[in-house]
Amino acid sequence: MRIQNLSELFETETGNTLSENVVNSCDINQDMIKNKLSACTILRASVSILVLNGYASMNINHCNYELSDCTLILLSSSHLFEFTRCSHDFRAKAIFVSREFTDSMDSTDMVYKRMKYEVMIFRNPVISLSEYSKGVLKRRMDDLTTSINDKTHKYRNDLILSMLNTFYIDVSNAIEGKGGFYEEKNLTRQESIIKDFIDLVVTNFRIWHTVDTYAEKLNLSTHYLTLLIKRVTGQSASDMIFDMLYSEARNLLEISTLSIQQISAELNFSDQSSFGKFFKRKSGISPREYRESR
């Protein structure tokens, strides 16, 4: 089994900008599968694979899936996967987005959508699409590839983020159009627990910062909740809370007129210093430096 970062999967030149290291796209064919994707792999990234032609078999978390035209595969860092065979004419388009990019750039709403769908795709990573949805997603992927390759664009990272958001909105539309694919009645008990946890986080992340509090509200042990979330989403429970908190902090620093001290109070930090340390751990810069850079 191999656990890979995107930089290991894609051999990039030194000196690349941020987006090249954490967002990439490629065409997948028989040669790439043989050279890069034929061993059991876990990627520290979200992966979207759109099958355009031919057929293949893929093992995902020890379940076999047959892939053909108009199939969308959605993988997270909780998926162990490998291609086991493919036809000579197999063609697919793939988008790879590292956790670092989604953590640092997502809006609060997109963080919530990502967490919600990670629960769903853990059990259902392969989706059949209509020809129309396939065409829409391929166009989005082609546009994103063009932006990734345009190294001269002054606002390249912002453009990539915008196109990623549009792509994920269309993925959400395709998923939610599948007739109750994410209805609560279809969830296992464990998935239902995680959904309840995510709903609690979305409502209370500004007030409750510790996993212990959420476990208590769900009548679960902290240890069990932590293990369950890590197994299903590939992310720790505390990171899910901090993702929402960090996203909201960025939002308040960018668009509000609140002082940094007021923002720290709004997000229920004990003092401005604690907020500053939290923000710098996530971003690498202080809240003041972040605000001045916007």
pTM for the whole structure: 0.68
Q: For 203-235, write each residue's pLDDT tens digit.
A: 899 999 999 999 999 999 999 999 988 887 777
Q: For 228-275, write each residue's pLDDT tens digit.
A: 888 877 778 998 898 888 888 988 998 889 999 999 999 999 999 999
Q: Where are the beta strands (DSSP E) in 29-100?
A: 41-43, 45-53, 56-60, 63-67, 71-75, 81-86, 91-98
Domains 2-176 and 187-293 fall in the same CATH topology: no
The domain 2-176: what is its CATH number? 2.60.120.280
Question: Can you give the residue ranges of every domain in the chain?
Answer: 2-176, 187-293
Sign of CA dihedral 95, 38, 232, 185: positive
Residues 23 and 158 sit within 8 Å (Cβ to Cβ): no
- Domain 187-293: which CATH class? mainly alpha
Q: DSSP character for 180? A: S
Q: For 135-160, write each residue's pLDDT tens digit.
A: 999 999 999 999 988 889 988 888 88
